[in-house]
Structure 1
């Protein structure tokens, strides 16, 4: 009868878990339960192995190279996907050995699945620093707090050099560096290089019960980077990661399991204030140049230096920021600091000259300050654009970021001109500047209306802005349009409205960005 259990002949004594043979007839369920008793989980096998051989030093040396890499080689993690069970023993061991903070983790375990092509396929993935051949973290650091060991290829973070700016977090496409609020610096995996130097396996390698992680030597060079690094992971050509994923074929259409999660990114409020206020100050100053209006010059100074002060709040170790010149060759953050330092005296001179007593060459000084303000101010804003464009985040690509940043400058320049010399033409220029800035923003957000559009970073941004960040987006648009309308009545009343609107726009800039990372946790990332 359908649904009845099949009766099987007695199991031979050699195959039964029961040591006392019996002629009792067993059901299929009885047989499966008996066989289950003979099976061991990876953890049980791991425990038995340790009990049988307490000194496992020689065993763990089989999981690491015993000689240093030769020319054209470096150390790398190798992850056997068919062995990874997602148990997070590697995460726990790394956390314990390195004494990490409660919410700090240098290794993550995430998941990828087959997507629409192979929906039944899934795989857990353990990941840490990839010790890239061209590390974005090292190239972006303004103070040289990273080094790549010439002998081993390990990318190390120099804690005592770090100023806690967190730019390396934005530069790394794999979300590897982690900010430690307790110490005011960034830290990351260093492959337990001290242990490797003594012939001992790193914590993650030694703790994995299935030996899914090991250290190997890999060839270096552009041709050595596997084209199929890991489907669902960020583009490997950006930094050329060295981790090798083996043991199981991954479908090319595989995607990160958390790709569709609409989780806003960190707001980075000090950077929101710094970018918005410095750009507003530059714009206000440029708009009032030549108008003889002291009020706009003073207001431009107040806005600009308020932004400069806010930038210090983003540094975990601000007293070390004087070392920014060490990164001028590779870091746009170093170049931004230099550019703003060159521009900073100009607004002070412009604002102070009307109150200064007459002195020789006063007119010449005023003329030089007025002529140098536009190129130096716009150069400083350009370096800010490049900082975010250089992260390779699609939502921060040059055309969009330049439109946002220079749009802020243009809006406040037009408003400053209207404040210094009110006229219908000045009002029209202000309205055009604000509208021209919000049109690209609205165009991106409009993508969320297409329910059948294929996933893209821009679509992810749009869905965040029309979903979890919807009220912020709507408030930004309403305030910007209201500022234009109010300017027709009294331009000074537009100033606070425009400041708040631009503040919300810059919050959206950070929180709605699609930030690439390795498949990992579904929660928001904790940045400084």
Structure 2
């Protein structure tokens, strides 16, 4: 007996009649053999992909009813977990008084791009593009769960499965294609709206020049998607995704926020103290090495703590060692290598200063300078790689200029704030020499914190001017988030920044603590430490908002 016979036997054994679903299934099974073979043949290309071509999805939007059969078939075939979608169905809407109303269902999955950003950005080399079919394939066994591909893919195709600790995505049912069968989504569509076709690289590049796959979708020039949408309808000029005007925060990525802030503070503080120390040695031989050594150790430990925090972001932290493998194309791998070099040079520099304290040999001084310069250079390279990690996603708010200024100001501000705290707590007067006076540099450090904080807060506040944009730009969406769903986080960020970066430094400058009758050294150290803690908290909140407000164009049906 066939499948219909099995259904009948089950119903008889349970003493019940067919359900509506079972009745529908039996009817489909009775009709399927007559036309299935011919139908499946039309869902596949006439010939296999040849060099210079690749397989691609072709979607007939006129035939799509939005029933979701493709979604269900994909879910069942790939045994996906609840909430995990490799194929989605969204909607476009439009209409004007002079144009008919439009409600268009749009199915979408991985577009198996000619230049896949997920592949180029992956630090673990967990993606590959099949040389024969052009299918972009993800290797679950190589994935470390860093989720960077969820940021680099403009169509937000890769899905992070927390239960598995890895990312997964559509592979165009390559096993079925190898057997001469269409993907599950194409075979399940009752209207034959999805089929596989072979397209040339030249065709993909030419089609991508025209802009986007669909209204309001990401620019195709970035990754050169191979999917083709066909429709004979004339769409209204105002056609947009049904949820186009919805404003939602992105994921906050707290562990990444902590990593970025601490590593940037570490690099900034180390570089500042390195310059100060060698400048003092160039003008006097009586240089206290206790303070700088403590400062370098504090900077190094904060950097290591930041790097450790990044491991918490991984779905499979035990595979973190694989993160350097993609250094040829991935800025994330380059950031990791840069931070590793910074930690190595900084550690050797600290050890060299501690072990050779009191020795005045030219060879030792040359070695110290080399190690220090190596730490500063590799730390700067790591911060640059951090900038490029987010620039490479092509999100409108993560431009090179904006991100580079953002990260550089964080490194400078927190570097100065940490230097102030360490200098105040290691000054001779705080350590018991009441005849000594705090160094004049404390005043300069307070002035630097005031200036850097003022610039930092002013630049962040300028985003609010986009509330007056005439159209729903990404910058306007971010500004709406800061004044709406994320308003309390934004207020807290401003509060900590003003208190730690403006009020406390002003309070310290208001009293001539570098002269007789100034602040008590304990108060001076406590106020400096508190200013550093508050400024750091403000920067953590700022970096959290950096992720939450990174809105980007999206395909219809993508739920954030």
The two structures have a TM-score, normalised by structure 2, of 0.81
Cα distance change of structure 1 residues 330 and 279 upon mapping to structure 2, 3 Å threshold: same
Asked if the contact 1:65/1:216 (under 8 Å) is kept, the reply is yes
- 1:163-205 deviation line (CA, Å, top 9, x unaligned): 1111111111000111111221111000001101111121111
- 1:49-106 deviation line (CA, Å, top 9, x unaligned): 5422346244222211252123332111111111212221111110111011112110
- 1:440-471 deviation line (CA, Å, top 9, x unaligned): 211012322x2x62111111111111110011
Q: Distance in 1 between matches of 2:460 and 2:219?
A: 26
The answer to whether the aligner puts 1:235 opposite 2:219 as a matched pair is: yes
Asked if the contact 2:414/2:536 (under 8 Å) is kept, the reply is no
Q: Distance in 1 between matches of 2:389 and 2:100?
A: 38
The answer to whether the aligner puts 1:147 opposite 2:128 as a matched pair is: yes
Classify the secondary structure of the residue corresponding to 1:120: strand
The answer to whether the aligner puts 1:461 opposite 2:441 as a matched pair is: no
Corresponding residue for 2:518?
none
The answer to whether the aligner puts 1:110 opposite 2:112 as a matched pair is: no
Q: Which among 228, 233, 244 is matched to residue 244 of structure 1?
A: 228
Corresponding residue for 1:375?
377
Asked if the contact 1:68/1:151 (under 8 Å) is kept, the reply is no
Q: Distance in 2 between matches of 1:47 and 1:475?
A: 61
Corresponding residue for 1:486?
504
Moved more, 510-519 or 500-509: 510-519
Corresponding residue for 2:263?
278
Matches within 5 A, 1:268-347: 268-289=253-274, 290-291=276-277, 292=289, 293=291, 294-347=293-346
Q: Distance in 2 between matches of 1:150 and 1:297?
A: 50
Corresponding residue for 1:385?
387
Corresponding residue for 2:206?
223
Classify the secondary structure of the residue corresponding to 1:500: helix
Asked if the contact 1:66/1:199 (under 8 Å) is kept, the reply is no
Matches within 5 A, 1:5-404: 48=27, 50-54=29-33, 56-114=36-94, 120-221=101-202, 222-225=205-208, 227=210, 229-249=213-233, 250-251=235-236, 253-289=238-274, 290-291=276-277, 292=289, 293=291, 294-356=293-355, 361-404=363-406
Corresponding residue for 1:3?
none
- 1:377-419 deviation line (CA, Å, top 9, x unaligned): 1111000000000100011111111111111001012223433
Matches within 5 A, 1:440-479: 440-448=459-467, 450=468, 453-479=470-496
Q: Distance in 2 between matches of 1:48 and 1:70?
A: 39
Q: Distance in 2 between matches of 1:134 and 1:365?
A: 45
Classify the secondary structure of the residue corresponding to 1:396: coil
Q: Distance in 2 between matches of 1:66 and 1:317?
A: 42
Q: Which among 485, 488, 509 is matched to residue 546 of structure 2?
A: 509
Q: Distance in 1 between matches of 2:178 and 2:237?
A: 37
Classify the secondary structure of the residue corresponding to 1:121: strand
Asked if the contact 2:418/2:532 (under 8 Å) is kept, the reply is no
Asked if the contact 1:287/1:412 (under 8 Å) is kept, the reply is no
How far is the alpha carbon of 1:252 from its aligned partner? Answer: 5.2
Q: Distance in 1 between matches of 2:76 and 2:112?
A: 21
Classify the secondary structure of the residue corresponding to 1:110: strand
Corresponding residue for 1:499?
536
Q: Distance in 2 between matches of 1:515 and 1:229?
A: 15
Q: Distance in 2 between matches of 1:50 and 1:67?
A: 29
Matches within 5 A, 1:404-415: 404-415=406-417
Number of matched residues? 479
Q: Distance in 2 between matches of 1:335 and 1:399?
A: 20
Q: Distance in 2 between matches of 1:46 and 1:219?
A: 39
Classify the secondary structure of the residue corresponding to 1:394: coil
Q: Distance in 2 between matches of 1:408 and 1:149?
A: 42
Classify the secondary structure of the residue corresponding to 1:79: strand
The two structures have a TM-score, normalised by structure 1, of 0.85
Corresponding residue for 2:4?
none
Q: Distance in 1 between matches of 2:167 and 2:156?
A: 12
Q: Distance in 1 between matches of 2:535 and 2:294?
A: 18
Instruction: Give unpaired runs (5+ residues) of structure 2.
Output: 1-21, 278-288, 424-438, 509-526
Q: Distance in 2 between matches of 1:411 and 1:47?
A: 70
Asked if the contact 2:96/2:236 (under 8 Å) is kept, the reply is no
Q: Distance in 2 between matches of 1:276 and 1:47?
A: 61
